[in-house]
Every structure is written in C-alpha cells, then in structure tokens.
Amino acid sequence: MKLAFIIDPIHKLDPGHDTSVALMEAAQILGHEIWITQANLLSVIDGKAWAMLQQVELIPVELVEGRWLAANPWFKLSPSAFTALETMDAVFMRTDPPINDAYLYATYILDYVDQNKTLVINNPAGIRSANEKMYALQFRECIPETIVSADKQVIRQFVAAKEATILKPLGNKAGEGILFLQSGDRNFNSIVELSTLQGQVPVMVQNYLPQAKEGDKRIILLNGEPIGALNRLSSGSDFRNNMATGGTVAQTTITPREQEMCRHLAAKLRQDGLIFVGIDVIGGYLTEVNVTSPTGIREIDRLDGTHLAYQVIKWVETNI
C-alpha cells in the first residue's frame, strides 16, 4: 500500500511519543510506502485533491530500559512530488489542533479525495462534525453535568450550583486553556471574560470530578472497538492530567462501564467515519472525544508490551 500522512512538520515530532510516528513506523515495517505532507500543502485541481508529498524512510525507535530511544537523525526524506491523493491507498489526517480556518479548509480539500479509491482517516466531514468537546454532549448518560455558553450569568449560575467546575475552551488541545473555576472565585469575571472573548465565544463548563485526582484515562478506539488504554496523572503542580502539561502515565485496564461506554459510542463513530479515536474518561464519565490527532499509542505499547499501531495498519489493509 501507499499511505499518506498529513502531519505537522516532521522535524517537530517526537518519535518516542507521537502516535503519527508510531503509525508510520508500523506501516513501513509491514512493507508499505510512507508519504508525508502538511495541511498547507494541499490543493484542489480539476475537482481532485492534490498534495506536495515526500516519501519518508524511518529508523524505528527501540525500547531500552523502559524508554523509547530514537536515532539521530531518525528519518530520511525524498524530493517533493506534486501528487493526486487518490493515488494513495489511504490518507491519515493527523494535523494537531487548534481547529482554526486553516485546519477546516484542509478538511474541505480532503472532501475531494475519491473515497472509492482512497480511505481517509478520519473522514473529513466527520472531523468537522465532531468538535472534541461538543461531540460528547450527544451521549448524555456518559458525561458529567455540562453546559456550553458564552453568557456570564448562565455560567455563574452553573458554577454556583456545582461549587467546583472545569472550564474548557472548545477549540484547544492538550489541556490548553482549561481552568478550575469555583463558586466565589474573586477572579470569576476576568476568567469568564478572557475565556469567552468578552462573551463572544462559548466555552464548556463541566462539573468537577474529584476522581480526576486518580487520573484521566485515555482509551484508544479502532472502528469503535477499544484496543488499549493508559491513565494520565497530574504532575502535582497542575490539576490537569495531560501529558503535554507534565503529567505522567500509568498502566490501567478498561472497566466494564468503560467497555459499555465504547459500545454506546461505536455506531455513531462508524457512521461519521471516525475510525481512529481517543476518548477521555474520568471516574467513569466521558469528558472528550478526540478525533483530530489522538495520541497515546507509544505510552500504551511501552506499558503493556502491545503493538497498537500494527493493529491499525492491519485494519487498513483489510478495509481499503
């Protein structure tokens, strides 16, 4: 197979952490061609999606004493070639958020990939419909009490009723801009004004879950089926558990409630073409559905001795 990956600049990726690199490595080891591009290098010509692609050859990381070690340099690039994306067997959209205009326009360009010829993971229309915070709201029995609003008074009433809440911007990633907001906070007005851009942009406010102190679980789903999980723990100096904010990771299992939650989500994920997804769970409650560039494979493989990226690529082999 020929596989294209739309990623952030490759030299900025961490081969020992980034799931995109794990997927590319697995594909290469399984004998497939790996090509890379960036969202700003996509075009539509004569009704077809094109990209400036480079073939990449990777030196796989090695697990040494519990750590992923990478060569330096760890990749080699071929010269660029302007290529129709329908010549690829599959295209992975793996650009990191924020979901800004440039990101959305890239998904519109990917609509012009002929999916009778080329599988796009995740489906561009599915990505647009699945804001990673808002998408979870349709599964009300799975989520903590939640509101979305730009109205300061609405937010104030919710926070007063719950006493302790979490405020989340709708378009960020990796814990960026998430705030702990309590009833009576002297900074309440400033926090809400800054977060909502003076009442112009809605934010999500959720009931604070005390179980967050025990970790924030990331579960990886492949075509709606859970294939692995890890627990993320805060550094102690930050209430957020995200790896990007200094959090650590620990081995975990998927509970029966979480298995049922995955079954509840599966049909909708498949309907929307959301093949590779990471859900976040705290205390048995769904908090986010990550569909843009979900990560965690490297950490799960290190902790559990698994090879999740191989499962993903073999699924692609079967389903293109």
Active site residues: 133, 168, 218, 232, 240, 280, 288, 290
Q: Which residues contact 165 (CB under 8 A, 6 or more apart)?
A: 158, 159, 180, 181, 182, 205, 206, 207, 208
Distance CA 124, CA 85 (A): 14
Pull the structure tokens for residue 273.
């073409």
Sign of torsion, CA 72 78 81 87?
A: negative
- The count of C-alpha atoms lying within 13 angstroms of the C-alpha of 236, restricted to the half-sphere facing its C-beta, is 0
Closest by CA to 256, choosing from 275, 281, 234, 288, is 281
Closest by CA to 304, choosing from 259, 258, 263, 251, is 251
Distance (Å) of CA 213 to CA 156, 165, 320? 24, 14, 42
Q: What is the dihedral of CA 256, 261, 262, 267, to 10 degrees?
A: 140
Closest by CA to 294, choosing from 208, 211, 230, is 230
Length of the chain: 320
Element (H, E) at 257: helix 256-271
CB atoms within 10 A of CB 7: 24
Q: Say whether the peptide bond before residue 189 is cis (omega within 30 degrees of 0).
A: no
Helix 308-319 to helix 297-304 angle, to the nearest 10 degrees?
120
Distance CA 48, CA 110 (A): 9
Distance (Å) of CA 254 to CA 151, 194, 227, 261? 37, 37, 9, 10
